[in-house]
Amino acid sequence: MNYHLAADVGGTWLRAALYREGEITPVRRERTPTRGAGRPEVRLRALLARLRPREGRLLGVGVACPGPLDPETGVVWAAPNIPEWREFPLAAYLSQALGVPVRVDNDANLAALGEWRYGAGRGHHHLLYLTISTGIGAGVIVNDRLLHGARGLAAELGHITVAPDGPVCSCGKRGHLEAVASGTAIARTAAEALARGENSSLAELPHAPTAADVAAAARAGDALARRIFAEAGAHLGRALAGFLHIFNPEVVILGGGVVQAGEVLLRPLEETMRAEVMSPAYLENLTLTPAALGDDAGLVGAVAKVRSFDSM
Amino acid sequence: MNYHLAADVGGTWLRAALYREGEITPVRRERTPTRGAGRPEVRLRALLARLRPREGRLLGVGVACPGPLDPETGVVWAAPNIPEWREFPLAAYLSQALGVPVRVDNDANLAALGEWRYGAGRGHHHLLYLTISTGIGAGVIVNDRLLHGARGLAAELGHITVAPDGPVCSCGKRGHLEAVASGTAIARTAAEALARGENSSLAELPHAPTAADVAAAARAGDALARRIFAEAGAHLGRALAGFLHIFNPEVVILGGGVVQAGEVLLRPLEETMRAEVMSPAYLENLTLTPAALGDDAGLVGAVAKVRSFDSM
């Protein structure tokens, strides 16, 4: 029996899973806190070593990692939340330690790849994947290949300016989509409204509202919370219309925790996208769909990446 | 000797040229008004027939055409300025008339392809081409292939929202890049400023200022004209920063008449692009360059397209 290992590097957890060749349900899985005794890459190596199959053959390892990195060489330029990794040759380190080929790619790229190969994007050639959570990540499939650009830095769809005078983004620039429509932005907008004394059930919470709190209040009919989601949805819908003009995809896949808010986000998003697209031709045969792989998209994408070693 | 024919369909002129295999300097060229006796496709067919080589072998014809079309089948959905072409099978019509394969693609896509194969983008794998004239057209090369999307409608980079409350675009939607930074937008902004009574040398013109008039005034130091170009350049630079985040190209090529304005446009454009990009990594090894092929980019791209019949 042949196997692949996949890992997903997060700011809080290092997750890994062992897969039989051709399968996407893991044989076993395990996680360990990212922070703890030892450097993160040593903890990751140990995690992968524990999951390694005791019999059969390990063909390779795929790793989903946040932040700018070189998907060709597996060098991580700068991983958010992992300050130890600056120009760190993660693929080479793990490959030497484990004795098998290791492929590393951006986590949102790999979630897109996972959805394309095994999830909501199967059978399509042109795909957009957006994950809306703390930030806004994205991955794009063009002509059955991940869009990486010259140095692996492409597909950062959360970092286009949608409100030139808007709030500053996590990246330091002003008015990006991520700065007005991420979970962080939704929570910040709610906190600002409460600080201005706006009337809302959110004022009764014993803590500053999270995006999930705002979503629950919106679903329960709270006017402020509904307005905040309507505005975030409109920003996302207008940006998506632009992405349709740029990529003309067959399928747009939405993942991430904020999408769990449901209709209070998705209705204004879809209405605005349809209203702002410049020709109905972009909407013909377009599928707008939630992600199918959930939290495992990164792991499944990492497996897809190492399985398609030669083609991606 | 083997030959290719290329044609460029414009609202005013139908242009065509005959090329020897492997060359980009035409053997002969000719143009005829788009409007005149007979339907445009009949006039185009006659123009191509006149240029057809009298000896040697014609291998194929490439046609650059405005507007949404299917680059696989050569069906034109709707050509601006040519109302006769609605779902018109231009490639099939010309192929039957001339007895050779005919390839049709969007004029901005083919200009990008021409610059990539024979012009300012040679040797690169990831390229953005923007042409700033009456409107803003674009073409994108990703992994050595034109970005077409599912139905050939991709790469419309002029149609992203950059000013949500801005003026209405030629496409009917609000606040697109084309609506604030095209030649049409520059002329309109100048006319509006003059109508408000703003002080400018442009007020002395005997006609409403064109974008070329505004460029000449800006180069001569006129404050209003300089401000209009600075604002257009800032819009373009901010949008370009977003396109760098989306595509991470190695080269950005700027074509079109408005770029002839020179430093009054290019300086604010480049300054804003550099200021708004979220990581210097996007600028490393990035070339920002004027187009090399000028008015012939569409013709040369059409030749490149028919020469690379199988790969594009």
Residues of chain B in contact with residue A239, where contact means CB-CB under 8 angstroms, are 161
Lowest mean pLDDT among A102-116, B79-93, B138-152: B79-93
pLDDT digits (tens, 9 = 90+) for B54-106: 999 999 999 999 988 999 999 999 887 899 999 999 999 999 999 999 999 99
Give the residue-averaged pLDDT of B196-221. 97
Token pair 């002395």 in the structure block, residue: B204
Residue owning tokens 């930030």: A135
Residue A309 is predicted with a pLDDT of 63
pLDDT tens digits, one per residue of A192-216: 999 999 999 999 999 999 999 999 9
Alpha helices in chain B (DSSP H): 40-51, 90-98, 107-118, 177-181, 183-195, 211-219, 223-247, 263-276, 297-307
Digit-coded pLDDT (tens) for B20-36: 998 999 999 999 999 99
Residue B312 has pLDDT above 80, yes or no: no
- Structure confidence at residue A279 (pLDDT): 94
Confidence of residue B304 (pLDDT cuts 50, 70, 90): very high
Check CB contact of B274 with chain A, cutoff 8 Å: no
- Which of A125, A157, A279 is the closest to B246 by Cβ? A157
Residue A310 has pLDDT above 50, yes or no: no
Q: Count A/B contacts: CB-CB distance under 8 Å.
A: 129
Residues 92-151 of chain B with CB under 8 A from chain A are 125-126, 142-143, 145, 147-151
Rg (CA), chain A: 20
- What confidence score (pLDDT) does residue B309 get? 63
φ/ψ of residue A39, rounded to 5: -70, 155
Contact B249 A150 (CB under 8 A): yes
Cβ contact, residue pair A156, B246, below 8 Å = yes
- What pLDDT, on the 0 to 100 scale, is given for residue A67? 81
Cβ atoms A156, B246 nearer than 8 A: yes
Report ipTM (2 d.p.): 0.95
Residue A255: strand, helix, or coil: strand
Question: CB distance A151–B281 less than 8 Å?
Answer: yes
B248:A282 CB<8 A: no
Distance CA B153, CA A249 (A): 9
Q: CB B238 to CB A162 under 8 A? A: no
Is residue A160 within 8 angstroms of chain B, CB to CB?
yes
Residue B226 tokens, joined: 């300089």
- Note whether B68 and B18 are within 8 A (CB): no
CA separation for the pair B28, B51 (Å, rounded): 7
Q: Which domains does chain B have, with CATH numbers?
A: 2-112+295-307 (3.30.420.40), 123-291 (3.30.420.40)
Q: What is the pLDDT of residue A312?
A: 42
Residue B311 pLDDT greater than 50, yes or no: no
**CA dist., res. B17 & res. B7, Å (int):** 7
Q: State yes or no: pLDDT of A125 exceeds 60.
A: yes
> CB distance B155–A246 less than 8 Å?
yes
Percent of chain B with pLDDT over 90: 94
A232: closest CA of chain B, how far (Å) = 14
Taking only the tens place, the pLDDT of each residue in B153-169 is: 999 999 999 999 999 99
In terms of C-beta distances under 8 Å and separation of at least 24 residues, what long-range contacts does B241-244 make, across chains too? B241/A161, B241/A173, B241/B272, B241/B273, B241/B276, B241/B277, B241/B278, B241/B282, B242/A159, B242/A160, B242/A161, B242/B160, B242/B276, B243/B128, B243/B157, B244/B273, B244/B277, B244/B282, B244/B283, B244/B286
As given in the structure block, the two tokens for residue B46 are 């006659």
Is the model's pLDDT at A58 over the cut of 50?
yes
What is the residue whose two structure tokens read 């995809």?
A249
Q: Does A57 touch chain B (CB under 8 A)?
A: no
- A92 in Cβ contact with A51 (< 8 Å): no
Chain A residues lying within 8 Å of B250, measured CB to CB: 150
User: B198 pLDDT exceeds 70?
Assistant: yes
A265-290 confidence digits (pLDDT tens):
999 999 999 999 999 999 999 999 99
